[in-house]
Amino acid sequence: MSWKLTKKLKEASFVSAMGFSSSSSSKHKSGSHSTASSRKSSEEKSKSSFDSSRRSMCSDAYGNVNVQPGLLQVRITEARGLKLPPAFFSSKSASRGFDSTHDSANAWMFPYIVVEFDKSEVVVNALRTSSPENPCWDYQATFDVSRYSQLSVNIYQRPPPRSLSIIKGDAFLGGVKLSPSFITNKMTDEWVTLQGGKGELHVQVLYKPNQKTDLSIESFELLKVIGKGSFGKVMQVRKRDSNLIYALKTIRKDFILINGEVKHTLAERTVLAQVNNPFIVPLKFSFQSTSKLYLVLAFINGGELFHHLQRENTFDIYRAKFYTAELLVALECLHEFNIIYRDLKPENILLDYTGHIALCDFGLCKLNMTKTQRTNTFCGTPEYLAPELLEGDGSYTKVVDWWTLGVLLYEMIVGLPPFFDDNVNQMYKNIREAPLVFPDFLKDEKAKDLLRRLLERSPEKRLGSGGAAEIKNHPFFADIDWKKLVAKKLQPPFKPHVESESDTSNFDSQFTSEPALDSVVPDSHLSETLQQKFANWSYQRPSTIESSVEFSAPINLDSVNGRASP
């Protein structure tokens, strides 16, 4: 998604380049090789039905529990006994400010909370009538429940002015992770001990199931445009009943019919709806009109990894390792569901408010891929293509995702992909033949060894060919506690600067300056036969979604509008 939509798809072949009162880089997606007609039939024969019988450990750890759709009301009242950062008291003036005044100039003293459920985040500042060690929020948030997820609340403190302290960045004071009781109208009211800090937090949680209602574009307030693509746009929206901020992806039906992208579009919806993983952006709802498809996704506003990498050029080893580890868990989950991702790159990785990654843009995923099954659709982004796509018949397995993980790790540490060249054909040649070279500043031998083994040109010898555990067990990840990582109990090494859950400062201003409108599609009367291609689009619950996707060939424009072809 990278909020620029699935179809940044330029052709590029190898040959040519309730109980409470409310408060409130260019991408080249290639078709099959021009000589690949014999392979095309095998691709099209396979239905993209979803193998829901498989569940990865990483997905199970996050929770596969049937939950009736509804609303989760969460009230955070207060905390007590917080331990403030030592540097907070490094200045007499800071101490005096803490003791005697609560004006706006000293707002930094009061901790704020980030409340998160299923990747939807709410940021709340403490009341200034309280104290920093015993802050009060008395705030209620309402979350839409479409599937099981844990509830997390993290407490942070902003740094004081530079003249008062040496603190850099927001300080993490502790957090809690709760498994809500999804029993109708049963309130949970408790003090919870903070993890990663000292003190307790008072939390009240109440769940109420929803009456089934059909969503439409009128269910949302359109706020800002945050991305555009060939098939539509992505807007920041506010759901009117819950007041939550989401990303709404709009896709024109006629465009995807003409371009033969129905299969990819339905595959993306299927993956987002079925997979429940802490590092994959979740689908909240989907619905349609006569002319458009709509995906309602969690709004992840910490910015693309691409944005942060461009700004900083390189990351330190631990930061690169942390992101790679979370991506490894996400890819492992997809592989256990028999899905190849095929398009890992910084533009498709978002950072949430607290600094964890969220993998997005699933339009190039290939479903129903067993461990040894091969496919040969030539697609992806040139810098990240695995060599097996460029050799022989171009067939490949899930192992291509481990090559792209290696390319991404190299880029995060070094600043460019390992085989990059401005000339695409030369870059393809580099991927097939050029030696892997490390800059002099890269001294970490474990990192270099991991990169050599991930960027092994032979898929059979590549680390990960026997499963993700091979990569997890590499010495480079020796200091990663995988259970804590999956539970999001490891603090990210970097926290993006975001003012609130509605902040769009990390998105391109060329989009956010546009008016947020759901444009009318002229002459959009599709035939009933074509409308049937989207019959199962609307999102209900993960266990009830059907995902038979057989339609893939481009069709004539006249046929799209219900007229016979000449």
- The residues assigned a catalytic role are 343
What average pLDDT score do residues 236-246 get? 92
Give CA separation, 409 vs 28, 320, 373, 384, 393, in Å. Answer: 21, 6, 26, 11, 28
What are the extents of the domains in the chain?
A: 70-209, 213-300+526-555, 304-495
Tell me the range of 5-14, 166-175, 206-215 where mean pLDDT is highest. Answer: 206-215
What pLDDT, on the 0 to 100 scale, is given for residue 112?
A: 93
Residue type, 471: I
- What percent of the chain stands above pLDDT 90? 45
Closest CA to 450 of 482, 483, 418: 418
Check residue 268 and give its pLDDT: 80
Q: What is the pLDDT of residues 340-391, one digit of tens each?
A: 888 899 989 999 989 999 998 876 767 766 666 666 565 668 898 888 888 8
308: phi then psi, degrees, rounded to nearest 5:
-70, -35
Q: Per CATH, the architecture of 70-209 is what?
A: Sandwich (2.60)
Tokens of 459: 């898929």
Least confident piece of the model among 270-279, 318-327, 489-498: 270-279
| Residue 263, pLDDT score | 81
CB 112 within 8 A of CB 172: no
The pLDDT value given to residue 545: 38
What value does the mean pLDDT take over residues 478-498? 93
Which of 167-176, 292-301, 320-329 is predicted with the least confidence, judged by mean pLDDT? Answer: 167-176
Q: Environment class of residue 340 by beta-carbon count within 10 Å: exposed (0-12), middle (13-18) or buried (19+)?
A: buried
Q: Where does the pLDDT of residue 100 fall: very low under 50, low under 70, confident under 90, or very high at 90 and above?
A: very low
Band (pLDDT 50/70/90 cuts) for residue 223 is very high
Asked which of 67-81, 479-493, 518-532 is least confident by mean pLDDT, the reply is 518-532
Determine the pLDDT at residue 242: 87
Task: List, as residue ranges, the binding site.
Answer: 253
Mean pLDDT of the chain: 79
What pTM, to 2 d.p., does this model score? 0.76
State yes or no: pLDDT of 19 exceeds 70. no
DSSP β-bridge partners for residue 140? 75
Confidence (pLDDT) at 356? 96
Q: What is the DSSP letter of 269?
A: H
DSSP conformation letters of 3-39: TT-S---B---SS----S-------B---S-TT-HHH
Q: What is the rounded distance in angstroms from the CA atom of residue 548 to the CA atom of residue 46?
A: 10
Fold of 304-495: Transferase(Phosphotransferase); domain 1 (1.10.510)
Over pLDDT 70: what percentage of the chain? 74
CA distances for 21 relative to 9, 27, 120, 186, 440, angstroms? 47, 48, 21, 16, 61
d(CA 124, CA 137): 7
Architecture of domain 213-300+526-555: 2-Layer Sandwich (3.30)
Question: Which parts are annotated binding residues for ATP?
Answer: 253
pLDDT digits (tens, 9 = 90+) for 392-432: 776 678 899 999 999 999 999 999 999 999 999 999 999 99
pLDDT tens-place string over residues 29-78: 333 333 333 333 333 333 333 333 344 444 444 445 678 888 999 999 99
Q: What is the pLDDT of residue 430?
A: 95
Distance in angstroms (rounded) separating the CA atoms of residues 545 and 536:
7
> What is the predicted pLDDT for the residue at 299?
93
